[in-house]
């Protein structure tokens, strides 16, 4: 059976001397893995289309077992992602997270849309760190982690001061702070930001410019949730953290839009 599928390449690994095993996140069919014969040879017509982060339409022959990639047409070039080391690092983190949290052959159009928007936003020069935060907070649900963020996780209050509690997996209001000794107190702006990351679709937020300290704190919270509650630590994280500690790799974001707090 031959299938034409719109997809994004989220992972590739070499197989034998000339082949690649390519993981695609497709719009209609979710995550699928296929064999791209000869794709490691630079002259192959599959060489360009099987680069990470390629967005295209792929022809896949599906018999028994793993499908075979037969041809592909690139829809848009997300070249900037591969040319900029920070963009590459964040895009790798995003695609690895999607890969880790999804199963094969399970249609998940909402995740496809999010991945598509995230990679395009990174390719368009929006702050890749902020875009990655969006993806991390949104993918919590996919990992089966549903923090209580619209109200206090203990008493249900929606008014007051809030803090994040790992123990309660969500917000606690000031009346309930005593329940957890290790709460992280949050300013109203940070409470609003966390809700935005978790609830608001990426395309409706556009280019939010965030303070470095806000990003660092929100990243620490979400990565701790993944690690402690789901045991997930991504391989691409070490590379990213190494880059983040190296200021010369920190270019100013190309687009500057006023802080949306
Ligand atoms: Zn409360």
How many other C-beta atoms lie within 10 A of the C-beta of residue 232? Answer: 18
Tell me if residue 20 falls in helix, strand or coil.
strand
Tokens 């701790």 -> residue: 224
- Choose among 164, 175, 236: nearest CA to 198: 164
User: What is the Å distance from ligand 1's center to 183 Cα?
Assistant: 13
Which of the four pLDDT bands, split at 50, 70 and 90, describes residue 238? Answer: confident
Task: Tell me how far the alpha carbon of residue 160 lies from the centroid of ligand 1, in angstroms.
Answer: 9
Burial 121-156 (b: 16+ CB within 10 A, else e): bbbeebbbbbbbbbbbbbbbebbeeebebeebbbee
- Residue 240's pLDDT band, with cuts at 50, 70 and 90, is confident
Angle, CA 56 vertex, CA 200 and CA 30 arms, to 5°: 55
Q: Using CA atoms, how far apart are residues 161 and 176, in angstroms rounded to an integer?
A: 10
Q: What is the mean pLDDT of the chain?
A: 90
User: pTM of the prediction?
Assistant: 0.88
| For the chain, percent of residues with pLDDT exceeding 70 | 93
Distance 190 CA to ligand 1 centre (A): 18
The CA-based diameter of the chain, rounded to the nearest angstrom, is 66
Residue 260 has pLDDT above 50, yes or no: no
Cβ distance 156 to 162 under 8 Å?
no
Give me ligand 1 centre to Cα 159, in Å. 9
The percent helix, strand, coil of the chain (3-state, each to 5) is: 40, 25, 40
What DSSP designation does 150 have? S
Dist. CA 173 → ligand 1 center (Å): 4
Residue 182 Cα to ligand 1 midpoint, Å, equals 15
| pLDDT band with cut points at 50, 70 and 90 for residue 261 | very low
Query: What is the pairing mode between strands 30-36 and 55-61?
Result: unpaired
Is pLDDT above 50 for 219?
yes
Asked if 30 and 19 touch (Cβ cutoff 8 Å), the reply is no
Q: Would you call 185 helix, strand, or coil by DSSP?
A: strand
d(CA 118, CA 124): 10
Share of the chain above pLDDT 90, in %: 75
Looking at residues 73-100, what average pLDDT do you find? Answer: 92
Q: Measured in angstroms, how far is the CA atom of residue 225 from the centroid of ligand 1?
A: 20
CA-CA distance, 14 to 36, in Å (whole number)?
10
Averaged over 126-138, what is the pLDDT? 93
Region for residue 21 given its phi and psi (left: phi exceeds 0; alpha: psi -120 to 50; beta: otherwise): beta
Nearest to 41 by CA among 10, 72, 11, 19: 19
Chain-centroid distance of CA 59 in Å reads 25
Mean pLDDT of 110-129: 92
**Relative orientation angle of helices 109-123 and 128-139, to the nearest 10 degrees:** 170
pLDDT digits (tens, 9 = 90+) for 173-216: 999 999 999 999 999 999 999 999 999 888 776 667 789 999 99
Q: Cα separation of 242 and 251, whole Å? A: 15
């Amino acid at each position: 059976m031959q299938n034409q599928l719109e997809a994004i390449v989220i992972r590739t690994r070499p197989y034998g001397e000339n082949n690649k095993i390519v993981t695609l996140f497709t719009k209609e069919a979710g995550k699928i893995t296929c064999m791209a014969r000869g794709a490691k040879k630079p002259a192959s017509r599959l060489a360009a289309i099987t680069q990470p982060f390629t967005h295209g339409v792929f022809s896949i022959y599906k018999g028994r077992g793993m499908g075979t990639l037969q041809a592909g047409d690139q829809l848009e070039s997300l070249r900037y992602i591969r040319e900029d080391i920070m963009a590459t690092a964040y895009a790798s983190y995003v695609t690895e997270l999607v890969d880790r949290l999804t199963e094969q052959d399970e249609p998940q159009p909402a995740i496809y849309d999010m991945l598509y928007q995230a990679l395009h936003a990174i390719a368009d020069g929006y702050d890749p760190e902020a875009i990655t935060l969006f993806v991390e907070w949104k993918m919590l649900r996919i990992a089966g982690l549903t923090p209580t963020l619209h109200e206090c996780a203990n008493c249900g209050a929606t008014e007051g001061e809030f803090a994040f509690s790992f123990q309660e997996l969500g917000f606690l209001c000031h009346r309930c702070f005593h329940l957890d000794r290790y709460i992280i107190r949050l300013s109203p702006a940070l409470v609003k930001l966390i809700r935005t990351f978790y609830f608001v679709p990426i395309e409706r937020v556009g280019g939010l410019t965030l303070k470095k300290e806000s990003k660092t704190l929100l990243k620490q919270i979400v990565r701790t949730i993944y690690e402690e509650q789901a045991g997930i630590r991504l391989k691409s994280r070490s590379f990213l953290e190494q880059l983040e500690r190296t200021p010369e790799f920190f270019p100013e974001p190309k687009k500057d839009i006023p802080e949306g707090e």
